[in-house]
Chains A and B, each alone.
Chain A
Amino acid sequence: MDQIESLLNRPKAYYNIDGVGELAMGFMCLAYSLLAWLQANAPKDSVWHGMPASIIYFGLMCLILHYGPKAIKKHITYPRTGFVEYRKRDTVWRPMILGAVVAAALSVGLGIALRRHWNVMTPASLIGLLWAASYAYGIARMGMVRWKWAVVCVVALGSLVIAANPADLVGALADHSWHGAFMLVMTLYGAVLLISGGISFWLYLRHTEAPSPEAP
């Protein structure tokens, strides 16, 4: 029975067989971090403080996030290990609901922290620990490769190290605003995900080859 359940989870794990899921997430985190850095360090009259630049930036980011993984899947993954079309309820509703709940919780938490002048390092690091826990749950549930546990350890440890840093030191990265903590956390997640996704992608290319045209 357990074997059947594990087979039912295989298609979910297959989405990240080439590391593209992590590469996309890593890219998104680094893009957020770059935007935070630009907004914190650009001159006050710079375009980076205006709404149009942010909208164009997010638009470009969304386009890359939407079409980038699709292009990799179409030209590399599908010819090598096959094409999968996921069921709509798995691909749309669950991530949307989860994303909405997480975004709402983060916005409320960050809003309260900023209004009460709390040290934003603590919520930022808590988010990191929560993220590491959800990643660990995903690895355990989908039976992903063992070395992915190193990603969980690095994110959890990195979040604790960031929390241990003096707020002034981190704030100095971004004109003593909360952008500093945000940048640091996003850079950490982005770098870890890009490295993890990059290793998965490299291993995938190494261990698979494009098959000859099928003839079933």
Chain B
Amino acid sequence: MNSQIQTIAELDRVIHEPGRLMVVALLFAVDRSDFIYLQHETGMNKGTLSSHLSRLEEAGYVEVEKTYRGKVPQTLLRLTAAGRKAFEQYRRKLREAL
């Protein structure tokens, strides 16, 4: 029991938040995606998704690239190598805890 609690306590807090977990899991399965895709898949509004992405970018887990699709601004997002490693570790620890 104690080791289980210990494992849960060791979970990465940045990823453990449900909204960010959704974002990281979705980005983990692809090479990169845009903001609209994440908004569509997570059902979050622009503000909430933006704040989660900022937090992930601060932690060095997500790389943000601002570009244009024709004349429309496009925000491309990619999980960094550190983000991939952190998510793999998070899944492993969560499996151990459960």
Contact = CB atoms under 8 A, between A and B. Distances in A.
Contacts of B98: 1
A82 B40 contact: yes
Nearest to A74: B69
Chain B: interface size category: 20 to 34
B25 interface: yes
B23 to A, nearest CB: 10
Interface string A1-39: 100100111111010000000000000000000000000
A130 B10 CA distance: 46
Interface string A59-87: 00000000000000000001111111111
Contact of B31 (A12, A81, A85): A85
A170 B9 CA distance: 67
A12 B29 CA distance: 8
B30 A11 contact: yes
A74 to B, nearest CB: 9
A85 B25 contact: no
B22 to A, nearest CB: 6
Given A1-B98, A82-B41, A83-B36, 5 more contacts: A1-B94, A4-B25, A11-B29, A83-B74, A215-B46
